[in-house]
Structure 1
Amino acid sequence: MATAVLALLLTACGDNEPESSGGEHDSHVTVAALPLTDSAALYIARDRGLFEKEGLEVTIQPVQQSLQALPALAKGQVDVIASANYVTFLQAYEKRTLDVRILAEGVRTAPHMMDVLVPKDSPIKSPADLKGKKVAVNILNNIQTLTLNAILDEQGVGRPEYRQIAFPQMGPALERGQTDAVHAVEPFDSAIQEDLQARVLLDGGASPVRALPISGYVTTAQYTQKHPETAAKFRRAIEAASRIAARDPAAVRAELPKYTKVTAAQATSMGLPAYPAAADPGRLRRLTELMRAQGLLKKPLDPSTLLVK
């Protein structure tokens, strides 16, 4: 599935174009985006004319994992990845496989915007019971494992064994017993609870990872150098949309059925992340320090050097 989606993405963006799709038309921005609550500001900006107000024409290309779009971003076949999980892209920066820049923050953790779910009749009754059990995450050694490990470590209990299963397949995998638990984000979290009557074992946005930045709008240094005004306009539009999302959760809930598979009824009850109005270097530093503590970064990294001003 990942290969097929990426192939479609590259075809749609033009396989043979070596330069950014912004090239001749500096007002056009191609954005790869996941069908998650993380991307809500992108769709609010589109539907409320915030991109148009900045003189931008934005094309959105759906993907199932931000990792899938990384090669396309490196080649300039997409300009921005929305809801890009920071762990993957900070690791790519450290390994010098991608000169990452953060245009705007996406979301921070909040209560029940992601949960560890188990079947309703599961013998797993507490976080301590997860030790050695199979837990599905979207990508191994990434934001879900990072945050769950931090929560379990603080509670002094053992860690599980992680299995990589894409968000759309988590529900079927849990139902078939291929995994003991799933670490699901919204909107998949609520859908799995409703479809399978799955039980919430643990709030994935709990202390010590509350209000932790987990995703953002990521581009490359090359793009920001070549199109500084376009990058600034895009950032302003996203931050304006994030302010709307922060003060009016109903605006987010109204958008979700448009680009995800959740119904309007499901959207009204699901847990939402926090939408920051501006990037916070201090909070991002918390993330990089946590990554270092768990071996996901080998050297200290000052995230303020990656923020586009």
Structure 2
Amino acid sequence: MSTKESTPTPRAGNRPRRRCGKSFLIAVGAVTALLTAACGSPGAASDGGDDKAGVSELKVTTLSLCNEISVLWAQKKGVFEKNGLKVELIKAGGGAAGLAAVQGKSADLAFTNPFSTMLAMNSGIDLRWVATAYGTPKKGETPSNAVLVKEDSPIENGKDLHGKTVAVNELGGINQIIVQQFVTDAGGDPSKVKFVALPFGELASAVASGKVDASQAPEQYSNTPGVRSLGDPYMEVGKDKWLVFAGYVGTADFVEKNEDAMKKFSTSLKEANTAVNDPANKDEKYRIEAEHCGQDAKKLATDPENPYFADVPMDAMKQMAQILVDQGQTEKLPDVEKLVPEYARS
């Protein structure tokens, strides 16, 4: 690969903050505190009443990521309005904050990831996944993530990470969990791998300098001098199917009371994805992304992208639920059948 930048900015990145044991309990406590703060807040969403024009109003959290293009396109291009929806995007500090917002009724739908959602459900919060935002590539497609090692490293697969130090952007997050499964699938034992947290901008340079033995990072970081990629761990784990990286979640009560609006939301994202995935719209897509996430549109056009789809692939979600159990994040298998309404499934 030719060298572009040594510290590129990642396109996406909602990461879960819950895990089994002490750190998981801390995260649940943090969500509880957020719920208390959110309850009864002035901008609280209604229980689903339509306005006089018959337009359902939804408040949806955003993390200001470039990969939120589907909801951005639907909002800016009038797709929501055409389908009888008015969508307001409200900023959240992360997936946990988004889940707290929907519980506290200051938002109707949270932009978050499957692992956080499933662990929240297992902690007693009844949630529904109404639409996917984007997934991860499957075998044969362009990778969007990488496990980086030094160019002259003897490490060739996940099992070779035994006794090594691997950097991720967040301990206990979605990337660490996937790397653990990557190690497991290679015949290794992830308990023999030491994980440390580093900022995105240091994930590649730490490998090149020898500070760590490996790191999980966006694929564009593999262009950093002195490193190479073992492959995309999401592709290795998902194999012939897309895994789900992020999507939109509401409380069971709100979603069930507002099923028509939820269906319109999902339909709008599907229509937006048809446009987003059309090469004829690429310039406009990157312009909208850049405006939302504060990056350069020309740079975004050169970065690997995740696949955009709104339906929920149930086999992938069930695989991800099993990964949480296999990697010790929860003892109870998350109930994916309960989590995903029939109309949201692919």
Common fold: TM-score over 0.5: yes
Per the TM alignment, residue 16 of structure 1 is displaced from its structure 2 partner at its CA by 2.2
- Distance in 1, matches of 2:87 and 2:154, equals 45
Matched, 1:95 2:123: yes
Query: Aligned pair in 2 of structure 1 residues 180, 94: CA closer, same or farther (>3 Å)?
Result: same
Residue 233, structure 1, aligned to residue 264, structure 2 = yes
Secondary structure of the 2:295 match is: coil
How many Å separate the matches in 2 of 1:198 and 1:77?
A: 47
Give the aligned residue type for 1:205: Y
Matches within 5 A, 1:127-276: 127=157, 130-157=161-188, 159=190, 160-165=193-198, 169-172=199-202, 175=205, 181-185=214-218, 190=220, 192=221, 197=225, 199-202=227-230, 203-210=232-239, 211-248=242-279, 250=282, 252-276=285-309
| Counterpart code for 1:39 | E
TM-score w.r.t. the length of structure 2 is 0.70
Q: Return the letter of the residue paired with 1:154.
A: D
Which structure 2 segments of 5+ residues have no match?
A: 1-16, 18-30
Max Rg structure: 2
Q: Deviations over 1:118-143 (max 9, x none)?
A: 5x778575445543444343443342
Q: Which residue of structure 2 aligns with residue 28 of structure 1? A: 57
Report the residue type matching 1:87 in the other structure: F
Q: What residue in structure 1 maps to residue 10 of structure 2?
A: none
The 1:67–1:53 alpha-carbon spacing in structure 2 relative to 1, beyond 3 Å, is same
Contact 2:238 2:316 in 1 (8 A): no
Counterpart contact for 2:165–2:194, Cα < 8 Å:
yes
Secondary structure, in 3 states, of the residue corresponding to 1:78? coil
- Aligned identity (percent) is 22
Are 2:121 and 2:334, in contact at CA under 8 Å, matched by a contact in 1? no
Counterparts of 1:217 and 1:238, CA distance in 2: 11
Q: Secondary structure at the match of 1:207?
A: helix
Match of 2:113 in 1: 85
Q: Alpha carbons of 1:279 and 1:247: their partners in 2 closer, same or farther (altered >3 Å)?
A: farther
Residue 268 to residue 19, structure 1, CA distance change in 2 (3 Å): closer
Q: State the SS of the aligned residue for 2:90.
A: strand
Aligned residues: 290
Deviation at residue 215 of structure 1 after TM alignment? 2.0
Mapped contact 2:62–2:92 kept (Cα < 8 A) = yes
Asked if the contact 1:29–1:59 (Cα under 8 Å) also holds between the matched residues in 2, the reply is yes
C-alpha contact 1:243 1:277 (8 A) present in aligned 2: no
- 8 Å contact kept, 1:242–1:276: yes
2:273 partner amino acid: S
